[in-house]
Amino acid sequence: MRNRLKELRAERGWSQQDLAERLDVSRQSVNAIETGKYDPSLPLAFRIAEVFAMRIEDIFLKG
């Protein structure tokens, strides 16, 4: 699953560690999601959407 996590994080000037702390996950988890090695659980996807004040569909893209 493709996602815009890295782009959205960069727009805000956040490091992977910054985002990890906001999501209460490890920096490695953020990296794995950004690189497509790991798809977040639904609860984590909702937290990500909440942190960015966006819809899940606008962060996680099909294809």
Write the CATH number of the domain with boundaries 2-61.
1.10.260.40
CB atoms within 10 A of CB 22: 16
Pair of tokens at residue 60: 């996680």
pTM of the full predicted structure? 0.92
Domain residue ranges of the chain, discontinuous segments joined by +: 2-61
Dump pLDDT digits (tens) for 35-58. 999 999 999 999 999 999 999 999
Per-residue pLDDT, 63: 65
Per-residue pLDDT, 61: 87
pLDDT of 59 strictly over 70: yes
For 36: left if phi > 0, alpha if psi spans -120 to 50, otherwise beta; the answer is left
